[in-house]
Amino acid sequence: MRERQGLREQKRRAAMRRVQDAALGLFDEHGFEAVTIEQIAAAAEVSPSSVYRYFATKEGIVLYDPNEIALEAPIASADEGVPFAEVLHRTVMGFLSEHGDEVVDRRRAKYLMEVPSVQDAVARRFFTETPTLAAFVAARTGRSPDDLEVRVACGAFAGGMLAAMRHWHAEDYAEPLGSLLDRTLATMQHGLEVALR
Amino acid sequence: MRERQGLREQKRRAAMRRVQDAALGLFDEHGFEAVTIEQIAAAAEVSPSSVYRYFATKEGIVLYDPNEIALEAPIASADEGVPFAEVLHRTVMGFLSEHGDEVVDRRRAKYLMEVPSVQDAVARRFFTETPTLAAFVAARTGRSPDDLEVRVACGAFAGGMLAAMRHWHAEDYAEPLGSLLDRTLATMQHGLEVALR
DNA sequence: TTCAGAAGTGATAGTGACTGTCAATTGAGA
DNA sequence: TCTCAATTGACAGTCACTATCACTTCTGAA
């Protein structure tokens, strides 16, 4: 599992984690906007320059996920016969059982979902993936990835997933992720007609 | 039509327009990020302080639309019998015929759709409206506006509309807006099932 | 093990968006 | 016309982020 990686890469990861950890601690204490990069750097015992080398922006510190779930590969390599919803469900649940059900790092989640500039970064991240999804949908349906229909479907999917995440957070992660995911996909697949009638 | 407004309000509007106009001119010449607020203020013959008083952010200068289309009122007051898609279509087309088919100010559109920080502001604007839409959908369907299904549907709607706008821009506004709107709504109403199968 | 080149680090000096404050000016309404 | 309230521009400051550069630390080949 653990790739044989150079000392350099190890140090880098360790430092990034230290910076993120220090940052989250300070955010918890004073709030996201009240904490400066300089303070974070001092708390993590690196220079401000290094913080910027690791993370492009202050928001990036929150966005960074050392154990990010990989969705692209499983979806891209999915069998034509298996419905999209099932692939997604399986991938997420598989990841879940592997990583001790902490898909969402609650510590980061607060800022991901509540700080405006971080919200924007999250949304951007979601929509940045839509062209990839569009290519996949296009291949499956025999359309062009540049079709309005394909693009709208993918944009709607991203918007729906984003809304589901926000809902989950707003409800304090009460509902199990699997159930939430199913209801979300079901709504998007045949619920928009009812809702937007 | 023209409300009897004080001299103060008139001046304010005139100044805002002057600032936006100056800004767009400078953006066209040097690009969005290369132009400073100070330069914009100088070109518009106001102080930098005033620019910030009119527009909260640099992105806001682009976002500002003196002739913004009103969607909330027509949708909120729509008859239960009339389908959502039709209300939206009618409102937009009505606005269109009234304002000499310039729904989209091409001059601003370039920056709205192409500058990352402005894109973020546009997306935020879209999703900020979803609770309003959710309240409307909830009222029509007899659900709670806090239901996952309602929220997901509204988020998906916002994402789909955003994607449609981007598509329209990417295709250089070739397709008539009415047709684009119809296809977009049709896709969201019964197209997601096909696309995401 | 050694050593040259590559890559990472921290210090430093910016730039520019944005905030807060305050005295001077200018409309609004009596 | 006069008073009060809102608007303005000037000024000083904060902070995210960029660019540069000498110095240190790893890497991979000999």
Asked if the A7-63 domain carries CATH number 2.40.50.90, the reply is no
**Contact residues on chain A for B60, CB-CB shorter than 8 A:** none
CATH for the B72-195 domain, from 3.40.50.1980, 1.10.357.10, 3.80.30.20, 3.20.20.80: 1.10.357.10
Per-residue pLDDT, B1: 41
pLDDT band at B82 (very low <50, low <70, confident <90, very high): confident
The residue ranges of every structural domain in chain A are 7-63, 72-195
Per-residue pLDDT, A92: 85
Cβ–Cβ gap A163/B151 under 8 Å: yes
Q: Which stretches of A36-83 are DSSP H helices?
A: 37-44, 48-54, 58-63, 72-76
Angle at which helix B130-141 crosses helix B148-170, to 10 degrees, equals 130
Q: If you average pLDDT over every residue of chain B, what do you get?
A: 92
- Residue A35's nearest nucleotide, by CA–C1', is D15
Cβ–Cβ gap A154/B163 under 8 Å: yes
Per-residue pLDDT, A1: 38
pLDDT band at B68 (very low <50, low <70, confident <90, very high): confident
Which residues of chain A, if any, have pLDDT below 70?
Answer: 1-4, 100-103
Pick the more confident residue, B71 or B30: B30
Asked if the ipTM is above 0.90, the reply is yes
**Contact residues on chain B for A118, CB-CB shorter than 8 A:** none
In the block, residue with structure tokens 């990861």 = A13
For A67, A125, A157, B50, the CA distances from B156, given in Å and listed in that order, are: 27, 16, 6, 38
What residue is closest to D14 (Cα–C1')? A36
List residues with CB under 7 Å of strand C: A 8, 11-12, 15, 46-50, 53; B 6-9, 11, 35-38, 48-49, 52, 56-59
pLDDT digits (tens, 9 = 90+) for B83-129: 888 888 898 888 877 776 666 789 999 999 999 999 999 999 999 99
What are φ and ψ of residue A172, in 5° steps? Answer: 55, 35
pLDDT digits (tens, 9 = 90+) for A82-125: 888 888 888 888 887 777 666 678 999 999 999 999 999 999 99
> End-to-end CA distance of chain A, in Å?
50
Closest partner CB to A194 (pick from B141, B156, B180): B141
What's the CA–C1' distance between B195 and D25, in Å?
A: 52
pLDDT digits (tens, 9 = 90+) for B166-180: 999 999 999 999 999
Is the pLDDT reported for residue B132 higher than 90? Answer: yes
Cβ atoms A37, A52 nearer than 8 A: yes
Which residue on chain B is closest to A88 by alpha carbon?
B196
For B52, B104, B172, the CA distances from B107, given in Å and listed in that order, are: 22, 9, 13
Rounded Cα gap, residues B150 and B131, in angstroms: 10
Is the pLDDT reported for residue B3 higher than 70? Answer: no
Per-residue pLDDT, B100: 65
Pick the more confident residue, B96 or B150: B150
Cβ–Cβ gap B124/A123 under 8 Å: yes
Cβ–Cβ gap B160/A150 under 8 Å: no
Return the top range by mean pLDDT from A101-105, A138-142, B136-140, B159-163. B159-163
As a whole number, mean pLDDT of residues B136-148 equals 93
What's the one-letter identity of residue A56? A
Angle at A133 between CA A132 and CA A138, to 5 degrees: 100
Closest partner CB to B196 (pick from A119, A120, A137): A137
As a whole number, mean pLDDT of residues B53-77 equals 93
SS3 B7: helix
> End-to-end CA distance of chain B, in Å?
50
Cβ atoms B54, B16 nearer than 8 A: yes
Cβ–Cβ gap B153/A189 under 8 Å: no
- Identify the H or E element spanning A151: helix A148-170
**Contact residues on chain B for A138, CB-CB shorter than 8 A:** none
For A25, A50, A56, B54, the CA distances from A35, given in Å and listed in that order, are: 10, 17, 16, 28
Angle at which helix A106-114 crosses helix A116-128, to 10 degrees, equals 100
Per-residue pLDDT, B101: 61
Domain B7-62, what architecture?
Answer: Orthogonal Bundle (1.10)
